[in-house]
Amino acid sequence: MEVIIRPDTNAACELVSALIAQEVRKRPHLVLGLATGRTMENVYERLAKCHREEDLDFSLTRTYNLDEYIGIAPEDPNSYRFYMNKHLFNKINIDLRNTHLPNGFAEDVDRECELYEESISRAGGIDLQLLGIGRSGHIGFNEPLSALQSRTRAKSLTPVTIEQNSPLFDPPESMPRRAVTMGVGTILEAKRVITLVTGKEKAEILAKAVEGPVTSMISASALQLHPHCTVIVDEEAAELLQGREYYDWIFKTEPEWEEFR
């Protein structure tokens, strides 16, 4: 795992979008794993700008989102499908048939989860997975005690997550209590993972996830097991990290980061 600390949220989001753009350019048929949430809006805005102003071409890109609420139709403004269309897909030249989210409205949710896993496998697996971390330590909606080998399945959301996301619903009580999410095991199979964490309210959970023990109580800590995971954070989120001198040294000296410094 590498941790890259950028001076502020914009700089962190700029680095994440530059890394994604680099991969899209390198590999037109890239299979991209995507996340939703407030943190990602800034990244998607930047990717849309790269498409508009620098001809970043998504025509052959395939995407798989991490999660979707159960019981919400894709056209509902609170669905993650709606979020993705609004913040990214409608602003770039992606073929919507190549974009995938679990269907939270499926009659047979377990079957939907199996089909989602099969679809990811048929695509050849995820090349690059983008992640955020929730205040409960979740990645996707893998709440505490999610098995580290879990696959796509239905999951009950924690009170912390309901508190985090319900302000986005009108009324807040209408937020679903369950969601379909890729499993921790599914996420760990991505060839590369980029995790973006910003803001001081994430400082405590970030420090536990990155520098604490690997535990199913904090799903994000499982990223320590991934062979190619980069965690990109702003100063506020980095506040409680112990090893920052070394992390800064890596960013300053490793040739991989030269073009981004």
Decide whether 119 or 248 has the Cβ nearer to ligand F6R: 119
Task: Select the residue whose beta carbon is closest to ligand F6R and give its number.
Answer: 132
Q: Is the torsion defined by CA of 244, 9, 183, 146 positive or negative? A: positive
> CB–CB of 33/186 below 8 Å?
no
Among the residue ranges 23-31, 89-97, 130-138, 244-252, the one whose residues contact ligand F6R (CB under 6 A): 130-138
From 76, 23, 18, select the one nearest 196 (Cα to Cα): 18
Footprint of ligand F6R on residues 59-118 (CB under 6 A)?
Answer: 66-67
8 A C-beta contact, residue 59 and residue 155:
no
User: Does residue 132 bind ligand F6R (CB under 6 A)?
Assistant: yes
DSSP 64-107: EESEEETT--TTSTTSHHHHHHHHTGGGTT--GGGEE---TT-S
* Region of 87-95, 118-126, 136-144, 226-234 interacting with ligand F6R (CB under 6 A): 136-144
Side chain identity, residue 245: E
The interface mask with ligand F6R, positions 24-63, x = CB under 6 A, is -----------xxxxx------------------------
206: which DSSP letter? H
Specify which residues 156 forms β-bridges with: 178
Q: What is the DSSP letter of 123?
A: T
Question: Cβ of residue 46: shortest distance to ligand F6R, in angstroms?
Answer: 15
Rounded to a whole number of angstroms, the minimum distance from the CB of residue 138 to ligand F6R is: 5
Q: How far is the CB of 168 from ligand F6R (least distance, A)?
A: 8
Q: Which stretch binds ligand F6R (CB under 6 A): 109-117, 135-143, 210-218, 228-236?
A: 135-143
Q: How far apart are CA 157 and CA 159, in angstroms?
A: 7
Q: How far is the CB of 159 from ligand F6R (least distance, A)?
A: 14
Q: Does 134 bind ligand F6R (CB under 6 A)?
A: yes
Q: How far is the CB of 113 from ligand F6R (least distance, A)?
A: 16
Q: In a 3-state reduction of DSSP, which class is residue 34? A: strand
Q: Which residues bind ligand F6R (CB under 6 A)?
A: 35-39, 66-67, 132, 134, 138-140
